[in-house]
Amino acid sequence: ASGQLWGGRFSGGAADAMFALSKSTQFDWRLARYDIAGSRAHAGALQRAGLLTGDEHNAMINALDRLEANVVDGTFTPADSDEDVHGALERGLLEIAGPELGGRLRAGRSRNDQIATLLRMYLRDTLGAVRADVADLITVLHDQAEKYLGAPMPGRTHLQHAQPILLSHQLLAHAWPLIRDLERIRDLDRRLAVSPYGSAALAGTSLGLDPEATAHDLGFSTSVPNSIDGTAARDLATEAGFVLAQIAVDLSRLSEDVILWATHDFGYVTLDDAWSTGSSIMPQKKNPDVAELARGKAGRLIGNLSGLLATCKGLPLAYNRDLQEDKEPLFDSVDQLLILVPAMTGMISTLTFDTEKMASQAPLGFSLATDVADWLVRRRVPFREAHEISGACVRYCEQNALELSELTAEQLASIDERLTAGVRDVLTVQGSIDSRDGRGGTATARVRDQLGEITAQLAKL
Ligand code: ARG
């Protein structure tokens, strides 16, 4: 039957429901051009092994070129009777090259090493596209941080006011995990750059083909050292699923900040009209849908990763058909990020911050209490005691409805004699921020250093 690669020992065709279950062209067709690239490299391996003459090799490459042109312009597509991308393309090749020549190409390879190779090629390319999109997002986080450098805001732990920080410090705290995601893509690419082609079904091939040459023809740096591992391993697929899910989780956390900051209660940020939506019933509404969809999609990508891991768990070596289930979750995670990340970039690049609102909130909630304690420590008070004294200031302020910066010299002295008037110098947001000037701290000079570090890292990734 057409598109059937394994008819010989069977007396009848597959049952309809069996075929419907088995069929994968509806999702694996997107790998068609990688399959054709693999076929070109494989034709070269067959020629070098003396299994195709020079003329046959030329004719094969011409046929594959025509097939690819037909795939690209849409004149060749999978038929209902095609089981998978490999079968459909063999049918196409036979139509162009005839059964005599076309029927030679399958020697020494299996769909098992083909699909394992194609998936790695696909992941290398698409992770490269994700990489570029994430780099754009890092760039706009950097640019916003640069634009607002110096603007203070409340820093929070447990969502409670903790210590004043720079808005830029917070924005860059969202950029660094994305830098690490780019590092993960780069590291993973080193492992993906190993070709399984030549592993055949599981044991390698007896036909004298050179997997290393095929690997180089396909842009890989080397070939797999073990053909069983080459056909059966999907740890690189799950690793890709993880990197993609981690990116989504990082975007989700950034989104949660945007969602909170855009509430009336916070009022730190205004979303650009182009990157927000309205309500069909409430005329005043402006909703942060980009950020909410990012949060939602993170759940979806986590699900894709969990599904991939579950598919791989407890499989016997080597190839099992279960592995056909590896593709849809990966394709989905890639597709979702390629839609989501550019939207995040648009939303972040157009945020306008209410720096006055943020600055006015920065000292509230006794966020300068640590500065009082640190001031005492610099005057040789043990931190344990300093913590107690500063806590007493907070209690006094709470009882008298004051902020720490409003305490008079007399009130300070009445709380503890070691609290001389000089402490009032550190009870400012700017003083607090710029005193945290060790590497990685929120001081303006250190955040300026970070801007430079981000730029340098991005240039390397
Ligand atoms: N469609 C299969 C997959 O996606 C290709 C390999 C099929 N191999 C086989 N022996 N049935 O994994």
Q: List, in order of start, the domains of the chain with CATH numbers.
A: 22-107 (1.10.275.10), 112-154+165-354 (1.20.200.10), 361-460 (1.10.40.30)
Q: What is the pLDDT of residue 1?
A: 46
Q: What is the pLDDT of residue 281?
A: 82
Q: What is the pLDDT of residue 14?
A: 83
- What is residue 152's three-state secondary structure? strand
> What are the φ and ψ backbone dihedral angles of 318, each rounded to 5 degrees?
-105, -105
Q: What is the pLDDT of residue 7?
A: 80
Candidate from 82, 308, 321, 322 with most ligand 1 atoms within 8 A of CB, to mutate? 321
Ligand 1 center–CA 80 separation, angstroms: 17
Give the Cα separation of 389 and 378 in Å (integer).
14
Ligand 1 center–CA 11 separation, angstroms: 21
DSSP 214-240: HHHHTT-SEE-S-HHHHHH--HHHHHH
Ligand 1 center–CA 113 separation, angstroms: 9
| Residue 158 among the catalytic residues | yes
| Residue 405 among the catalytic residues | no
Which atom of ligand 1 is the closest one to the Cα of 83?
1
CA angle 415, 421, 422 (to 5 degrees): 120
Cis peptide before 63, with omega less than 30 degrees from 0?
no
**Residues contacting 185, CB < 8 A, separation 6+:** 127, 128, 130, 131, 243
What residue owns the CA closest to ligand 1's atom 11?
321
- Where the chain has pLDDT below 50, the residues are 1-2
DSSP 8-state symbol, 83: -
What residue owns the CA closest to ligand 1's atom 3?
324
DSSP 8-state symbol, 405: G
Question: How is residue 250 written in tokens?
Answer: 């990082």
Give the Cα separation of 334 and 319 in Å (integer).
24
Ligand 1 center–CA 75 separation, angstroms: 25
Ligand 1 center–CA 114 separation, angstroms: 9
Task: State the catalytic residue, choosing from 11, 158, 264, 280.
Answer: 158
Q: Which amino acid is at 44?
A: G
Task: State the catalytic residue, choosing from 2, 221, 279, 414.
Answer: 279
Identify which of 422, 457, 424, 359 has the alpha carbon closest to the alpha carbon of residue 153: 359
Q: What is the pLDDT of residue 3?
A: 54
Ligand 1 center–CA 226 separation, angstroms: 19
CB 207 within 8 A of CB 178: no
Candidate from 34, 115, 120, 122 with most ligand 1 atoms within 8 A of CB, to mutate? 115
Chain-centroid distance, C-alpha 402: 46
Identify which of 151, 149, 117 has the alpha carbon closest to the alpha carbon of residue 219: 117
Question: How is residue 230 written in tokens?
Answer: 């080459």
Which atom of ligand 1 is the closest one to the Cα of 327?
4
> What are the φ and ψ backbone dihedral angles of 154, each rounded to 5 degrees?
-70, 130
**Residues contacting 214, CB < 8 A, separation 6+:** 41, 42, 44, 45, 195, 197, 198, 223
Identify which of 275, 113, 94 has the alpha carbon closest to the alpha carbon of residue 203: 113
Query: For strand 152-157 and strand 160-166, is the pairing parallel, antiparallel, or unpaired?
Result: antiparallel
Identify which of 4, 8, 211 has the alpha carbon closest to the alpha carbon of residue 113: 211
What residue owns the CA closest to ligand 1's atom 2?
324
Position of tokens 């903790």? 162
Candidate from 5, 112, 327, 330 with most ligand 1 atoms within 8 A of CB, to mutate? 112
Helices 54-72 & 32-48, crossing angle to 10 degrees? 180
Residues touching ligand 1 (Cβ under 6 Å) are 24, 28, 84, 111-112, 115, 321, 323-324
Beta-bridge mates of residue 329: none
What residue owns the CA closest to ligand 1's atom 4?
324
